[in-house]
Chains A and B, each alone.
Chain A
């Protein structure tokens, strides 16, 4: 399992197991961006197979996809416009049942 660490101008994105096949098997990747929208755009540009898995046709987050910046769910922040700092980790996680 490869672990990316952030270098200047990039952020680390953590991918769920179910999406790693579309990112050459990596659990984390490094991409550029200062908002979630930019980060996801760079991610999809680097790994086109991820595109329709994360965003729907209108460019919104798909229903069962949760994205977190510094562990906070972006749906309760500024959604895709949520700012991302260089030392933040962006995590993509599927919505699953608890209880």
Chain B
């Protein structure tokens, strides 16, 4: 191990763990890429660093500047770490109904939190940040949903790491979110191994936090459209809260991976793909899925210890992802 000059040097090159004991088919390997190993604790470290670097290189971001971003947690936390080091004042538009730990981490890094109404969900936070950025043109709005540096970071780092470590990969499964991970990794994998299948999982937002007055308030990230998500992906499925929770607990108790809740959704999606594959007919398969973050920021919800049905119901009031 080397000595590093900054935590920013620790971003990326995350390990992959074989968790095939959770596979429904002995011919199908399940491989977890542990993005929680990044220094601020999630996959978002990659895109936060890339977006800041791109803004610096474009001359938009110089020390003393104000950065604004909507985030339900991980992007905000990653930016908090980076902005602290690089000397920028960070404002995060944070829905009021995220877990308390996310607010605490942001506060620890000295972030200014701008609350957005919980009932408006992530869409409401995006709208509020857009409005504030329009009113304050001197602020730097990184806008992860439309920033090319987001998918590009995954195209340049996450994708090559996966192919290097799992050259026989057959399937890749990840949460949709901004779509940056799937667009970047997916484009890289298909360029190098056109037969690799890409699957998105979507945890449905809680019924009381979907935050829509009408369907016209819906949202498709510009990154998804620009990178041709409809053509790139081979499938997309929703994973129910109860399934996300069950598989998250399996990761913790059966593999020792102390994973956050969206990781359970990705694993549930990977298991579904494994069940459909049928290795007896189609040969062996290797499915890589993303473990976005660790469990630390979700402990207060009781997701790991309380009665599953009670937690699955309360998920309707909290933004978990």
Contacts and interface: CB of A to CB of B under 8 A. Distances in A.
Interface of A: 16-19, 53, 62-65, 68, 71-73, 75-76, 91, 93-99
Interface residues of B, number: 43
Contacts of B137: none
Nearest to B212: A18
18 contacts: A18-B214, A53-B215, A63-B218, A63-B220, A75-B236, A76-B234, A93-B238, A94-B212, A95-B220, A96-B205, A96-B210, A96-B212, A96-B219, A98-B72, A98-B202, A99-B44, A99-B122, A99-B177
B37 interface: no
Given A63-B220, A72-B236, A19 B122 contact: no
B238 A71 contact: yes
Contact of A97 (B122, B208, B239, B240): B122
Nearest to A75: B230
Contacts, number: 96
A76 B144 CA distance: 25
B87 interface: no
A12 to B, nearest CB: 15
A99 B237 contact: no
B204 interface: yes
Contacts of B125: 97
B207 A73 contact: no
Contacts of B176: 98
A97 B210 contact: no
A49 to B, nearest CB: 12
B145 interface: yes
Interface of B: 44, 71-72, 74-75, 121-123, 125-126, 144-145, 175-178, 202, 204-205, 207-208, 210-221, 230, 233-240, 321
B212 A73 contact: no
Given A17-B210, A96-B211, 8 more contacts: A63-B218, A68-B237, A71-B238, A76-B233, A76-B236, A93-B238, A98-B205, A99-B178
Contacts of B234: 76
Q: Which of A62, A76, A97 has the most CB of B within 10 A?
A: A97
Nearest to B180: A99
Contacts of B121: 96-97
